[in-house]
Amino acid sequence: MNAPLNPAASGASAPREEGAAARRLSFILVFAPFALWIALVILVPQLNLFFLSLREKVGPQVYVLGPRNYTELFGESVYVLTLVRTVVMSLLATFATLIIGFPIAYYIAKIARGRARTLLFMSCLLPFWVSELVRVFGWMLILRETGLLSRLLQGLGLVDGPVELLYNDVAVMVGLIYTSMLFMVVPLVSTLDSLDDALVEAGYDLGGNGLVVLWEIVIPHAKPGIVAGAIIVFMLNLGNYLTPTLLGGKNSQWFTAQIYSQFITRFNWESGSAFGFVLLVTSSLIVWLALRASGQTLSGTIGKG
């Protein structure tokens, strides 16, 4: 990288050349850790993964370059179906998280006041201080055959014997929604917070009913928060391994589980890398489409801090 372009500010009392040299040194000192981090654990490993995915094994220790790992993936309907299924379920879970979370975010931002507001907001964050593993464990204890819900249904006389509520798509959805709720509610609260009450009141004064005000005023204002929340939640769902595996069992057929089995169980790194890349590209493509469709940018959405 290049030398800093604005040698202003620091070292005002020092002679100019010495100041510029010191500034250059300080730039190198803060640039080096960043460069090492991004190059050694992000950029080079990702490029290497891509290279691996294009490698075909033709014999022991003998490889040639070629697209076979990808053609195999897309030629096998099980893998393609797993990918489509993972994307569709992740989108559905994201949508459900938005629908469930929006009224809560609105209540916290616009209706609750003072201490109640702080308390509600904090209780929203609370479950997420606990490991995802513990949260999923809680759902397992509730949903499994000997679990609480099964007992409850038996106690109410609604079912005759124990019912297995775990290891199905609904269980996976419940887990995904629960796990990523925070990442939807927090951006929503912060955008709804900046919505001026007067705008909502004006909407009512001009004769709009609740639904019209919601659709014409509240949702357009909250759009950046909705996009930010949806993108983060979608990416978390798509890349999740823990929740689909534990709540969906062998039936979950999540794409990350395929990556795991190729990489760790079968030790087929070439094919596993191709799987990883397909997931990465799918995820980036959908995020990019969502950003485009809503006219937002990635750094504006996620980089706000």
Partner 1 sequence: MLPSIPAPRFVTFAYRAYVALFFVYLAVPLVVVAVFAFNDSLYPSLPWKGFTLDWFFGASAPKIGLFHDRAILRGLVNSLLVAFATTAASVLVGTTTAFLFERYDFRFKGLCYMLMLAPLVIPGVILGISILAFSSQIANAADDAFGIELNALRPGLLLVALGQFSFIATIATLVISSRLRKFDRSLEEAALNLGASPFMAIVTVTLPYLAPALIGSALVAFLMSFENFNTTLMLVGSDAPLTITMFDRMKQGSTPVLNAVSVFLMLGSALLGLVSVMAQRGGRGAAE
Rounded to 5 degrees, what are φ and ψ at 296? -110, 170
Kindly state the tokens that stand for 279: 């997931």
3-state per-residue secondary structure call for 126-144: HHHHCCHHHHHHHHHHHHC
| 68 versus 269: smaller Cβ distance to partner 1 | 269
Tokens coding 2? 């290049």
Cα separation, 229 vs 189, in Å, equals: 10
Of 130, 224, 14, 201, nearest to 23 by C-alpha is: 14
- In the complex, least distance from residue 296 CB atom to partner 1, rounded to whole angstroms: 14
How far apart are CB 28 and partner 1 at their closest, in Å? Answer: 10
Nearer to partner 1, 5 or 293 (CB): 5
C-beta closer to partner 1: residue 29 or 293: 29
* Cβ at position 14, least distance to partner 1 in Å: 8
CB–CB of 213/283 below 8 Å? no
Q: Which is nearer to partner 1, 92 or 120 (CB)?
A: 120
Instruction: Between 225 and 244, name the residue whose CB sits nearer to partner 1.
Output: 244
Query: Residue 90, SS3?
Result: helix
Q: How far is the CB of 110 from partner 1 (least distance, A)?
A: 6
Q: How far is the CB of 207 from partner 1 (least distance, A)?
A: 13
Q: Which residues, at least 6 apart from 141, have a Cβ–Cβ distance to it below 8 Å?
A: 147, 148
Give the 3-state secondary structure of residue 59.
strand
β-strands 55-59, 62-65 pairing: antiparallel
- Residue 22 or 92 with smaller CB distance to partner 1: 22
- Residue 76 C-beta: closest distance to partner 1, Å: 20
Q: Cα–Cα distance between 43 and 156 in angstroms, integer?
A: 57
Closest of 284, 270, 303, 274 to residue 239, by C-alpha: 284
